[in-house]
Structure 1
Amino acid sequence: MAATTDLGPIQTNATSNPPPNKQIFILSGQSNMAGRGGVLKKLHRWDGVVPPEAQPHPSIFRLSAKLHWEVAHEPLHADIDSKKTCGVGPGMAFANGVRERVGTVALVPCAVGGTAIREWARGEKLYEDMVKRARHSVKDGGEIRAILWFQGESDTSTEHDADAYQGNMEAFVANVRRDLALPSLPIIQVALASGIKYIEKVREAQLGMRVENVVCVDAKGLELKEDNLHLTTQAQVILGQMLADAYLTHFAPPLKSKPST
Protein backbone atom coordinates (compact mmCIF):
# COMPACT_ATOMS: atom_id res chain seq x y z
CA MET A 1 0.00 0.00 0.00
CA ALA A 2 1.55 3.27 -1.05
CA ALA A 3 0.93 6.52 0.79
CA THR A 4 1.75 10.07 -0.13
CA THR A 5 3.36 12.47 2.32
CA ASP A 6 4.86 15.91 2.01
CA LEU A 7 8.05 14.05 1.03
CA GLY A 8 6.33 12.26 -1.83
CA PRO A 9 5.12 8.66 -2.13
CA ILE A 10 6.56 6.09 0.27
CA GLN A 11 6.00 2.38 0.44
CA THR A 12 4.29 1.49 3.73
CA ASN A 13 4.20 -2.28 3.56
CA ALA A 14 7.85 -2.90 2.73
CA THR A 15 10.21 -4.41 5.28
CA SER A 16 12.78 -1.76 6.13
CA ASN A 17 15.37 -1.53 8.88
CA PRO A 18 15.45 1.68 10.91
CA PRO A 19 18.85 3.10 11.87
CA PRO A 20 20.47 1.68 15.03
CA ASN A 21 19.92 4.91 16.97
CA LYS A 22 16.11 4.56 16.77
CA GLN A 23 13.97 5.72 19.68
CA ILE A 24 11.54 2.95 20.64
CA PHE A 25 8.07 3.34 22.12
CA ILE A 26 5.89 0.44 23.27
CA LEU A 27 2.15 0.86 22.60
CA SER A 28 0.12 -1.31 24.95
CA GLY A 29 -3.29 -1.73 26.55
CA GLN A 30 -6.67 -2.47 25.01
CA SER A 31 -8.91 -1.31 22.17
CA ASN A 32 -8.53 2.46 22.40
CA MET A 33 -4.76 2.05 22.12
CA ALA A 34 -5.13 -0.53 19.35
CA GLY A 35 -7.34 2.00 17.57
CA ARG A 36 -11.00 1.99 16.63
CA GLY A 37 -11.12 5.44 15.05
CA GLY A 38 -13.01 5.25 11.77
CA VAL A 39 -14.16 1.65 12.28
CA LEU A 40 -17.71 1.24 11.01
CA LYS A 41 -19.27 -1.00 13.63
CA LYS A 42 -22.11 -2.50 11.63
CA LEU A 43 -19.89 -3.16 8.61
CA HIS A 44 -16.90 -4.37 10.65
CA ARG A 45 -14.49 -2.43 8.50
CA TRP A 46 -12.31 0.66 8.73
CA ASP A 47 -13.23 3.68 6.62
CA GLY A 48 -9.60 4.14 5.56
CA VAL A 49 -9.46 7.84 6.47
CA VAL A 50 -6.04 8.86 7.79
CA PRO A 51 -5.86 12.41 9.16
CA PRO A 52 -2.82 14.56 8.28
CA GLU A 53 -1.44 14.19 11.81
CA ALA A 54 -1.39 10.38 11.46
CA GLN A 55 0.16 10.11 8.00
CA PRO A 56 3.18 7.86 7.41
CA HIS A 57 6.65 9.37 7.47
CA PRO A 58 9.99 7.84 6.40
CA SER A 59 11.38 8.28 9.92
CA ILE A 60 8.55 6.36 11.67
CA PHE A 61 8.69 2.56 11.82
CA ARG A 62 6.66 -0.22 13.39
CA LEU A 63 7.51 -3.74 14.49
CA SER A 64 5.17 -6.18 12.76
CA ALA A 65 3.61 -9.24 14.36
CA LYS A 66 6.33 -11.30 12.67
CA LEU A 67 9.03 -9.13 14.26
CA HIS A 68 10.00 -7.31 11.07
CA TRP A 69 10.50 -3.56 10.93
CA GLU A 70 8.50 -1.64 8.33
CA VAL A 71 7.51 1.94 7.67
CA ALA A 72 4.62 2.58 10.04
CA HIS A 73 1.10 3.31 8.85
CA GLU A 74 -2.45 3.07 10.10
CA PRO A 75 -3.91 0.83 11.32
CA LEU A 76 -0.84 0.18 13.48
CA HIS A 77 -2.35 -2.81 15.29
CA ALA A 78 -3.98 -4.61 12.36
CA ASP A 79 -1.79 -7.70 12.73
CA ILE A 80 -1.57 -7.53 16.53
CA ASP A 81 -5.22 -7.06 17.59
CA SER A 82 -6.03 -9.33 14.69
CA LYS A 83 -9.37 -10.71 15.92
CA LYS A 84 -10.93 -7.24 15.80
CA THR A 85 -11.17 -4.52 13.16
CA CYS A 86 -8.56 -1.86 13.83
CA GLY A 87 -8.56 1.73 12.72
CA VAL A 88 -6.85 4.92 13.83
CA GLY A 89 -5.27 4.95 17.27
CA PRO A 90 -3.04 7.49 19.02
CA GLY A 91 0.29 5.97 17.96
CA MET A 92 0.92 7.69 14.63
CA ALA A 93 -0.13 11.13 15.88
CA PHE A 94 2.21 10.59 18.84
CA ALA A 95 5.09 9.59 16.57
CA ASN A 96 4.59 12.57 14.29
CA GLY A 97 4.45 14.77 17.36
CA VAL A 98 7.86 13.69 18.69
CA ARG A 99 9.89 12.79 15.59
CA GLU A 100 11.37 16.24 14.96
CA ARG A 101 12.69 16.26 18.52
CA VAL A 102 13.83 12.64 18.93
CA GLY A 103 14.77 11.53 15.40
CA THR A 104 13.81 8.08 14.15
CA VAL A 105 10.73 6.76 15.97
CA ALA A 106 10.19 3.00 16.24
CA LEU A 107 6.77 1.87 17.46
CA VAL A 108 6.11 -1.55 18.97
CA PRO A 109 2.33 -2.20 18.89
CA CYS A 110 1.16 -4.64 21.59
CA ALA A 111 -2.42 -3.63 22.49
CA VAL A 112 -5.31 -6.08 22.30
CA GLY A 113 -8.97 -5.06 22.62
CA GLY A 114 -11.19 -6.21 25.46
CA THR A 115 -8.35 -7.13 27.82
CA ALA A 116 -8.36 -6.63 31.59
CA ILE A 117 -5.35 -5.64 33.67
CA ARG A 118 -5.08 -9.17 35.09
CA GLU A 119 -4.37 -10.39 31.55
CA TRP A 120 -1.29 -8.14 31.55
CA ALA A 121 0.16 -9.73 34.68
CA ARG A 122 3.59 -11.28 34.55
CA GLY A 123 3.37 -14.82 33.19
CA GLU A 124 0.23 -14.13 31.15
CA LYS A 125 0.46 -14.38 27.35
CA LEU A 126 -0.17 -10.70 26.60
CA TYR A 127 2.49 -9.58 29.05
CA GLU A 128 5.05 -12.11 27.89
CA ASP A 129 4.40 -11.28 24.22
CA MET A 130 4.90 -7.58 24.97
CA VAL A 131 8.20 -8.23 26.77
CA LYS A 132 9.36 -10.49 23.92
CA ARG A 133 8.56 -7.84 21.33
CA ALA A 134 10.22 -5.12 23.41
CA ARG A 135 13.40 -7.16 23.79
CA HIS A 136 13.47 -7.93 20.07
CA SER A 137 13.09 -4.23 19.23
CA VAL A 138 16.55 -3.41 20.63
CA LYS A 139 18.41 -6.34 19.06
CA ASP A 140 19.89 -4.17 16.32
CA GLY A 141 20.31 -1.05 18.42
CA GLY A 142 18.08 1.68 19.74
CA GLU A 143 16.66 2.56 23.13
CA ILE A 144 13.24 1.91 24.63
CA ARG A 145 12.15 5.38 25.67
CA ALA A 146 8.66 4.80 27.11
CA ILE A 147 5.58 2.64 27.29
CA LEU A 148 2.33 4.31 26.23
CA TRP A 149 -0.47 2.58 28.12
CA PHE A 150 -4.23 2.96 27.54
CA GLN A 151 -6.22 0.28 29.35
CA GLY A 152 -8.83 -0.08 32.06
CA GLU A 153 -12.26 -0.04 30.45
CA SER A 154 -12.51 -3.80 31.06
CA ASP A 155 -11.87 -3.24 34.77
CA THR A 156 -14.79 -0.88 35.35
CA SER A 157 -17.63 -3.42 35.41
CA THR A 158 -17.15 -4.77 38.97
CA GLU A 159 -16.17 -3.05 42.19
CA HIS A 160 -13.63 -5.79 42.90
CA ASP A 161 -11.76 -5.20 39.64
CA ALA A 162 -11.86 -1.44 40.07
CA ASP A 163 -10.56 -1.66 43.64
CA ALA A 164 -7.72 -3.91 42.54
CA TYR A 165 -6.68 -1.74 39.61
CA GLN A 166 -4.06 0.43 41.29
CA GLY A 167 -2.23 -2.51 42.84
CA ASN A 168 -2.31 -4.41 39.56
CA MET A 169 -1.01 -1.40 37.65
CA GLU A 170 1.79 -0.80 40.12
CA ALA A 171 2.78 -4.47 39.81
CA PHE A 172 2.72 -4.18 36.02
CA VAL A 173 5.08 -1.19 36.11
CA ALA A 174 7.48 -2.90 38.51
CA ASN A 175 7.49 -6.15 36.55
CA VAL A 176 8.02 -4.67 33.11
CA ARG A 177 10.84 -2.46 34.36
CA ARG A 178 12.51 -5.46 35.96
CA ASP A 179 12.05 -7.75 32.96
CA LEU A 180 13.41 -5.15 30.53
CA ALA A 181 16.21 -4.17 32.93
CA LEU A 182 15.07 -0.54 32.72
CA PRO A 183 14.37 0.47 36.35
CA SER A 184 13.39 4.03 35.44
CA LEU A 185 11.48 3.29 32.22
CA PRO A 186 8.89 6.04 31.68
CA ILE A 187 5.25 4.99 31.56
CA ILE A 188 2.68 7.39 30.13
CA GLN A 189 -0.78 6.10 30.91
CA VAL A 190 -4.13 7.42 29.78
CA ALA A 191 -6.94 8.05 32.26
CA LEU A 192 -10.13 6.55 30.89
CA ALA A 193 -12.56 8.42 28.69
CA SER A 194 -15.20 5.70 28.97
CA GLY A 195 -16.21 2.71 31.03
CA ILE A 196 -19.09 1.11 32.87
CA LYS A 197 -20.23 1.32 36.49
CA TYR A 198 -16.95 1.87 38.32
CA ILE A 199 -15.10 4.08 35.85
CA GLU A 200 -14.41 6.80 38.43
CA LYS A 201 -12.67 4.32 40.74
CA VAL A 202 -10.32 3.26 37.96
CA ARG A 203 -9.75 6.86 36.90
CA GLU A 204 -8.94 7.79 40.50
CA ALA A 205 -6.31 5.03 40.57
CA GLN A 206 -4.83 6.15 37.26
CA LEU A 207 -4.71 9.84 38.10
CA GLY A 208 -3.52 9.19 41.66
CA MET A 209 -0.52 6.93 40.98
CA ARG A 210 2.59 8.20 42.71
CA VAL A 211 5.25 6.07 41.07
CA GLU A 212 8.47 7.57 39.78
CA ASN A 213 8.47 8.26 36.03
CA VAL A 214 4.78 7.42 35.66
CA VAL A 215 2.67 10.26 34.31
CA CYS A 216 -0.97 10.37 33.26
CA VAL A 217 -2.84 12.19 30.51
CA ASP A 218 -6.60 12.48 30.87
CA ALA A 219 -8.79 11.41 27.96
CA LYS A 220 -12.03 12.38 29.69
CA GLY A 221 -14.06 14.70 27.49
CA LEU A 222 -12.57 13.54 24.21
CA GLU A 223 -15.21 12.68 21.64
CA LEU A 224 -16.54 9.13 21.71
CA LYS A 225 -18.10 7.17 18.90
CA GLU A 226 -21.77 6.19 19.04
CA ASP A 227 -20.86 3.13 21.14
CA ASN A 228 -19.82 5.49 23.97
CA LEU A 229 -16.69 3.41 24.43
CA HIS A 230 -14.20 4.11 21.65
CA LEU A 231 -12.59 7.39 20.69
CA THR A 232 -13.35 8.90 17.30
CA THR A 233 -10.58 9.38 14.76
CA GLN A 234 -10.14 13.05 15.64
CA ALA A 235 -10.15 12.27 19.36
CA GLN A 236 -7.39 9.73 18.77
CA VAL A 237 -5.34 12.39 17.01
CA ILE A 238 -5.80 14.75 19.96
CA LEU A 239 -4.84 11.98 22.38
CA GLY A 240 -1.71 11.17 20.38
CA GLN A 241 -0.70 14.82 20.55
CA MET A 242 -1.37 14.85 24.31
CA LEU A 243 0.88 11.81 24.72
CA ALA A 244 3.56 13.48 22.63
CA ASP A 245 3.38 16.63 24.75
CA ALA A 246 3.65 14.53 27.92
CA TYR A 247 6.72 12.72 26.64
CA LEU A 248 8.44 15.89 25.41
CA THR A 249 7.64 17.71 28.66
CA HIS A 250 8.64 15.03 31.15
CA PHE A 251 11.07 12.64 29.51
CA ALA A 252 12.65 13.82 26.26
CA PRO A 253 16.30 14.90 26.36
CA PRO A 254 16.59 18.68 26.58
CA LEU A 255 16.99 20.63 23.41
CA LYS A 256 20.59 21.54 22.67
CA SER A 257 20.99 25.28 22.75
CA LYS A 258 22.56 26.88 19.71
CA PRO A 259 25.92 28.57 20.34
CA SER A 260 25.63 32.32 20.53
CA THR A 261 27.27 34.28 17.73
Structure 2
Amino acid sequence: MKADLQTFWAIILASLAVPAPLPAAPAEKEDFALFLLMGQSNMSGRGVIEAQDREPIPGAFKLNSGSRWIAAVDPLNSDGPKKVGVGPGRAFARTILQERPLEKIGLMSAAVGGTTLNQWGPKGRFYKRAVRMLRQGEKSGHLRAILWHQGESDAAGTTDRAKTYAIRWVALMRSLRRDAGCPHVPIIVGKLGDFVRRPQAKIINSQFERLPTLLDNVVVVSSKGLRDTGDGLHFDALSQRELGRRYANAYLSLLDK
Protein backbone atom coordinates (compact mmCIF):
# COMPACT_ATOMS: atom_id res chain seq x y z
CA MET A 1 0.00 0.00 0.00
CA LYS A 2 2.81 2.36 0.91
CA ALA A 3 4.55 1.64 -2.40
CA ASP A 4 1.31 2.35 -4.28
CA LEU A 5 0.97 5.75 -2.56
CA GLN A 6 4.56 6.64 -3.37
CA THR A 7 3.99 5.80 -7.02
CA PHE A 8 0.75 7.84 -7.03
CA TRP A 9 2.40 10.95 -5.61
CA ALA A 10 5.39 10.55 -7.95
CA ILE A 11 3.04 10.65 -10.92
CA ILE A 12 1.21 13.71 -9.55
CA LEU A 13 4.45 15.62 -8.91
CA ALA A 14 5.82 14.74 -12.34
CA SER A 15 2.68 16.13 -13.99
CA LEU A 16 3.13 19.43 -12.14
CA ALA A 17 6.82 19.80 -12.93
CA VAL A 18 7.95 22.34 -15.52
CA PRO A 19 9.05 20.37 -18.60
CA ALA A 20 12.71 20.66 -19.63
CA PRO A 21 13.19 23.01 -22.60
CA LEU A 22 13.59 21.34 -25.98
CA PRO A 23 16.83 21.90 -27.89
CA ALA A 24 16.65 25.01 -30.04
CA ALA A 25 15.86 24.27 -33.66
CA PRO A 26 18.72 25.03 -36.04
CA ALA A 27 18.45 28.32 -37.88
CA GLU A 28 17.03 28.01 -41.38
CA LYS A 29 19.92 30.04 -42.76
CA GLU A 30 23.35 30.24 -41.18
CA ASP A 31 24.99 33.59 -41.80
CA PHE A 32 28.19 32.24 -43.35
CA ALA A 33 30.74 34.51 -44.99
CA LEU A 34 31.17 32.57 -48.23
CA PHE A 35 34.35 32.43 -50.30
CA LEU A 36 34.52 30.77 -53.72
CA LEU A 37 37.96 29.30 -54.49
CA MET A 38 38.68 28.92 -58.21
CA GLY A 39 41.58 28.17 -60.53
CA GLN A 40 43.88 25.21 -60.94
CA SER A 41 46.17 23.01 -58.84
CA ASN A 42 47.80 25.68 -56.68
CA MET A 43 44.35 26.74 -55.50
CA SER A 44 43.34 23.10 -54.98
CA GLY A 45 46.56 22.57 -53.06
CA ARG A 46 49.48 20.23 -53.62
CA GLY A 47 51.45 20.81 -50.41
CA VAL A 48 52.20 17.80 -48.22
CA ILE A 49 49.53 17.46 -45.53
CA GLU A 50 50.71 17.48 -41.90
CA ALA A 51 48.88 16.91 -38.62
CA GLN A 52 48.23 20.65 -38.20
CA ASP A 53 46.34 20.68 -41.50
CA ARG A 54 43.88 18.10 -40.18
CA GLU A 55 42.92 20.07 -37.09
CA PRO A 56 39.52 21.82 -37.32
CA ILE A 57 39.54 25.60 -37.08
CA PRO A 58 36.63 26.89 -34.96
CA GLY A 59 34.36 28.88 -37.26
CA ALA A 60 35.80 27.53 -40.54
CA PHE A 61 33.83 25.12 -42.74
CA LYS A 62 34.04 23.66 -46.23
CA LEU A 63 31.29 22.57 -48.58
CA ASN A 64 31.90 18.91 -49.33
CA SER A 65 30.93 16.87 -52.40
CA GLY A 66 27.67 15.96 -50.70
CA SER A 67 26.74 19.66 -50.37
CA ARG A 68 27.18 19.54 -46.59
CA TRP A 69 29.18 21.91 -44.42
CA ILE A 70 31.94 20.09 -42.56
CA ALA A 71 35.12 21.16 -40.74
CA ALA A 72 37.56 22.90 -43.07
CA VAL A 73 40.43 20.43 -42.88
CA ASP A 74 42.83 19.72 -45.73
CA PRO A 75 42.37 18.73 -48.41
CA LEU A 76 39.61 21.24 -49.11
CA ASN A 77 39.40 20.03 -52.68
CA SER A 78 39.07 16.59 -54.27
CA ASP A 79 40.20 17.22 -57.85
CA GLY A 80 43.05 14.70 -57.66
CA PRO A 81 42.86 12.18 -54.81
CA LYS A 82 46.48 11.03 -55.14
CA LYS A 83 47.94 14.52 -55.37
CA VAL A 84 45.61 16.92 -53.61
CA GLY A 85 47.01 18.50 -50.46
CA VAL A 86 47.54 21.79 -48.63
CA GLY A 87 46.25 24.88 -50.41
CA PRO A 88 45.76 28.49 -49.29
CA GLY A 89 42.17 28.13 -48.07
CA ARG A 90 42.64 27.14 -44.43
CA ALA A 91 45.26 29.79 -43.72
CA PHE A 92 42.99 32.32 -45.41
CA ALA A 93 40.08 31.37 -43.13
CA ARG A 94 42.25 31.29 -40.01
CA THR A 95 43.62 34.78 -40.69
CA ILE A 96 40.14 36.20 -41.30
CA LEU A 97 38.90 34.66 -38.05
CA GLN A 98 41.79 36.13 -36.08
CA GLU A 99 40.55 39.58 -37.11
CA ARG A 100 36.83 38.78 -37.16
CA PRO A 101 36.34 36.00 -34.57
CA LEU A 102 32.53 36.09 -34.71
CA GLU A 103 32.44 35.19 -38.39
CA LYS A 104 31.53 31.77 -39.74
CA ILE A 105 33.66 31.12 -42.81
CA GLY A 106 32.31 28.89 -45.58
CA LEU A 107 34.91 27.77 -48.15
CA MET A 108 33.70 26.46 -51.50
CA SER A 109 36.64 24.97 -53.38
CA ALA A 110 35.85 24.63 -57.09
CA ALA A 111 39.44 24.63 -58.42
CA VAL A 112 40.51 21.98 -60.94
CA GLY A 113 44.14 21.09 -61.55
CA GLY A 114 45.62 21.52 -65.01
CA THR A 115 42.88 23.78 -66.36
CA THR A 116 43.44 26.73 -68.70
CA LEU A 117 41.66 30.05 -68.49
CA ASN A 118 39.62 29.20 -71.60
CA GLN A 119 38.36 26.03 -69.92
CA TRP A 120 36.81 28.26 -67.25
CA GLY A 121 34.60 30.00 -69.82
CA PRO A 122 30.94 30.61 -68.84
CA LYS A 123 29.66 27.85 -71.12
CA GLY A 124 32.08 25.28 -69.75
CA ARG A 125 31.52 22.60 -67.13
CA PHE A 126 34.01 24.01 -64.59
CA TYR A 127 32.30 27.40 -64.55
CA LYS A 128 28.87 25.79 -64.28
CA ARG A 129 30.06 23.57 -61.44
CA ALA A 130 31.42 26.60 -59.57
CA VAL A 131 28.08 28.40 -59.94
CA ARG A 132 26.23 25.32 -58.68
CA MET A 133 28.49 25.22 -55.63
CA LEU A 134 27.81 28.89 -55.03
CA ARG A 135 24.05 28.38 -55.28
CA GLN A 136 24.27 25.58 -52.72
CA GLY A 137 26.46 27.64 -50.44
CA GLU A 138 24.14 30.63 -50.62
CA LYS A 139 21.52 28.62 -48.74
CA SER A 140 23.76 29.22 -45.73
CA GLY A 141 25.16 32.69 -46.27
CA HIS A 142 26.40 35.36 -48.63
CA LEU A 143 29.32 35.53 -51.05
CA ARG A 144 32.03 37.82 -49.69
CA ALA A 145 34.87 37.25 -52.18
CA ILE A 146 36.25 35.11 -55.01
CA LEU A 147 39.77 33.73 -54.63
CA TRP A 148 41.55 32.96 -57.90
CA HIS A 149 44.85 31.22 -58.60
CA GLN A 150 45.40 30.00 -62.14
CA GLY A 151 47.76 30.62 -65.03
CA GLU A 152 50.39 27.91 -64.92
CA SER A 153 48.69 26.10 -67.81
CA ASP A 154 48.45 29.30 -69.84
CA ALA A 155 52.12 29.97 -69.09
CA ALA A 156 52.92 26.83 -71.08
CA GLY A 157 50.96 28.09 -74.11
CA THR A 158 51.57 30.60 -76.84
CA THR A 159 52.75 34.18 -76.38
CA ASP A 160 49.57 35.49 -78.00
CA ARG A 161 47.39 33.60 -75.53
CA ALA A 162 49.44 34.87 -72.60
CA LYS A 163 49.20 38.48 -73.78
CA THR A 164 45.40 38.30 -73.90
CA TYR A 165 45.07 36.75 -70.44
CA ALA A 166 43.89 39.93 -68.68
CA ILE A 167 41.17 40.71 -71.22
CA ARG A 168 39.87 37.14 -71.18
CA TRP A 169 39.95 36.99 -67.39
CA VAL A 170 38.00 40.25 -67.03
CA ALA A 171 35.27 38.92 -69.35
CA LEU A 172 35.08 35.74 -67.25
CA MET A 173 34.81 37.59 -63.95
CA ARG A 174 32.21 40.01 -65.22
CA SER A 175 30.10 37.02 -66.21
CA LEU A 176 30.67 35.33 -62.86
CA ARG A 177 29.77 38.44 -60.88
CA ARG A 178 26.60 38.79 -62.93
CA ASP A 179 25.61 35.17 -62.41
CA ALA A 180 26.41 35.46 -58.71
CA GLY A 181 24.24 38.55 -58.42
CA CYS A 182 27.19 40.41 -56.86
CA PRO A 183 28.40 43.00 -59.41
CA HIS A 184 31.20 44.32 -57.20
CA VAL A 185 32.19 41.32 -55.06
CA PRO A 186 35.93 41.44 -54.25
CA ILE A 187 38.24 39.20 -56.26
CA ILE A 188 41.67 38.26 -54.89
CA VAL A 189 44.24 36.96 -57.39
CA GLY A 190 47.55 35.28 -56.59
CA LYS A 191 50.60 35.56 -58.81
CA LEU A 192 52.44 32.55 -60.17
CA GLY A 193 55.46 31.51 -58.15
CA ASP A 194 58.79 32.96 -59.27
CA PHE A 195 60.01 29.37 -59.53
CA VAL A 196 57.67 28.63 -62.47
CA ARG A 197 59.92 28.34 -65.52
CA ARG A 198 57.27 27.91 -68.19
CA PRO A 199 57.83 30.13 -71.25
CA GLN A 200 55.06 32.67 -70.62
CA ALA A 201 55.15 32.82 -66.81
CA LYS A 202 56.52 36.37 -66.67
CA ILE A 203 53.94 37.57 -69.17
CA ILE A 204 51.12 35.98 -67.17
CA ASN A 205 52.35 37.68 -63.98
CA SER A 206 52.55 41.02 -65.79
CA GLN A 207 48.98 40.46 -66.97
CA PHE A 208 47.90 39.96 -63.36
CA GLU A 209 49.30 43.39 -62.50
CA ARG A 210 46.89 44.95 -65.01
CA LEU A 211 43.75 43.42 -63.52
CA PRO A 212 43.02 46.08 -60.84
CA THR A 213 43.13 48.74 -63.59
CA LEU A 214 40.58 46.86 -65.70
CA LEU A 215 38.07 45.77 -63.06
CA ASP A 216 36.93 47.23 -59.76
CA ASN A 217 37.51 45.57 -56.37
CA VAL A 218 40.38 43.39 -57.55
CA VAL A 219 43.57 42.87 -55.51
CA VAL A 220 46.65 41.00 -56.72
CA VAL A 221 48.69 39.05 -54.17
CA SER A 222 52.46 38.70 -54.43
CA SER A 223 54.17 35.31 -54.50
CA LYS A 224 57.56 36.80 -53.71
CA GLY A 225 59.73 34.58 -51.53
CA LEU A 226 57.45 31.57 -51.73
CA ARG A 227 58.93 28.16 -52.51
CA ASP A 228 57.91 25.17 -54.58
CA THR A 229 57.61 21.48 -53.76
CA GLY A 230 60.64 20.79 -55.94
CA ASP A 231 58.69 20.44 -59.16
CA GLY A 232 59.05 24.04 -60.32
CA LEU A 233 55.29 24.37 -60.42
CA HIS A 234 53.48 23.97 -57.07
CA PHE A 235 53.83 25.87 -53.81
CA ASP A 236 54.94 23.74 -50.87
CA ALA A 237 52.77 23.52 -47.76
CA LEU A 238 54.60 26.26 -45.84
CA SER A 239 54.30 28.63 -48.80
CA GLN A 240 50.63 27.76 -49.28
CA ARG A 241 49.91 28.77 -45.71
CA GLU A 242 51.73 32.07 -46.26
CA LEU A 243 49.89 32.58 -49.54
CA GLY A 244 46.58 32.07 -47.73
CA ARG A 245 47.54 34.74 -45.19
CA ARG A 246 48.36 37.12 -48.04
CA TYR A 247 44.99 36.48 -49.64
CA ALA A 248 43.30 37.17 -46.30
CA ASN A 249 45.20 40.39 -45.67
CA ALA A 250 44.31 41.58 -49.17
CA TYR A 251 40.64 40.86 -48.49
CA LEU A 252 40.75 42.62 -45.12
CA SER A 253 42.40 45.65 -46.73
CA LEU A 254 39.34 46.03 -48.97
CA LEU A 255 37.04 46.00 -45.94
CA ASP A 256 38.97 48.90 -44.44
CA LYS A 257 38.36 51.15 -47.44
Query: Which residues of 2 match residues 115-154 of structure 1 at below 5 A?
Result: 115-140=115-140, 142-154=141-153
Q: How many residues align?
A: 225
C-alpha separation in 2, matches of 1:30 and 1:251: 27
C-alpha separation in 2, matches of 1:214 and 1:116: 20
What is the SS of the residue equivalent to 1:202?
helix
C-alpha separation in 1, matches of 2:161 and 2:81: 24
| Change in CA separation of 1:50 and 1:245 when aligned onto 2, cut-off 3 Å | farther
Q: 1:200 maps to what in 2? A: 202
Q: 1:92 maps to what in 2? A: 90
Instruction: Please tell me whether residue 240 in structure 1 is matched to residue 244 in structure 2.
Output: yes
| Change in CA separation of 1:161 and 1:75 when aligned onto 2, cut-off 3 Å | same
Query: Which residues of 2 match residues 148-187 of structure 1 at below 5 A?
Result: 148-157=147-156, 158-187=158-187
C-alpha separation in 1, matches of 2:120 and 2:28: 28
User: Cα distance, 1:160 vs. partner?
Assistant: 2.4
| Change in CA separation of 1:18 and 1:236 when aligned onto 2, cut-off 3 Å | farther
Q: What residue identity is the alignment partner of 2:99?
A: R
What runs of 5+ residues in structure 2 fail to find an aligned partner?
Answer: 1-25
Q: What residue identity is the alignment partner of 1:87?
A: G
Structure 2 counterpart of 1:23, from 26, 33, 36:
33
C-alpha separation in 1, matches of 2:115 and 2:105: 26
Structure 2 counterpart of 1:33, from 12, 33, 43:
43
Q: 1:7 maps to what in 2? A: none
C-alpha separation in 1, matches of 2:30 and 2:50: 32
Instruction: Compute the TM-score of the two structures, normalised by the length of structure 2.
Output: 0.82
| Change in CA separation of 1:149 and 1:18 when aligned onto 2, cut-off 3 Å | farther
What is the SS of the residue equivalent to 1:139?
coil
Percent identity of paired positions between Structure 1 and Structure 2: 35
What is the SS of the residue equivalent to 1:70?
strand
What is the SS of the residue equivalent to 2:164?
helix
Q: Is the 8 A contact 2:34 2:137 kept in 1?
A: yes
User: Cα distance, 1:49 vs. partner?
Assistant: 0.7
Q: Is the 8 A contact 1:17 1:69 kept in 2?
A: no
Instruction: Compute the TM-score of the two structures, normalised by the length of structure 1.
Output: 0.81
User: Cα distance, 1:239 vs. partner?
Assistant: 0.4
Q: What residue identity is the alignment partner of 2:242?
A: I
| Change in CA separation of 1:228 and 1:50 when aligned onto 2, cut-off 3 Å | farther
Instruction: Please tell me whether residue 224 in structure 1 is matched to residue 225 in structure 2.
Output: no
| Change in CA separation of 1:203 and 1:50 when aligned onto 2, cut-off 3 Å | farther
Q: What residue identity is the alignment partner of 1:222?
A: L
C-alpha separation in 2, matches of 1:51 and 1:202: 33
Q: Is the 8 A contact 2:29 2:139 kept in 1?
A: no
Which one has a larger percent helix, Structure 1 or Structure 2? 2
C-alpha separation in 1, matches of 2:28 and 2:203: 41
- Which runs of structure 1 show a deviation greater than 4 angstroms over 4 or more consecutive aligned residues? 16-19
What is the SS of the residue equivalent to 2:220?
strand
Q: Is the 8 A contact 2:177 2:185 kept in 1?
A: yes
Which one has a larger percent strand, Structure 1 or Structure 2? 1
C-alpha separation in 2, matches of 1:76 and 1:124: 22
Q: 1:8 maps to what in 2? A: none
Q: What residue identity is the alignment partner of 1:34?
A: S
Q: Is the 8 A contact 1:61 1:69 kept in 2?
A: yes
C-alpha separation in 2, matches of 1:96 and 1:208: 29
Q: What residue identity is the alignment partner of 1:151?
A: Q
Q: 1:110 maps to what in 2? A: 110
1:161-208 superposed Cα distances (whole Å, 9 cap, x missing partner): 212211111011101001111000110000111250011111011012
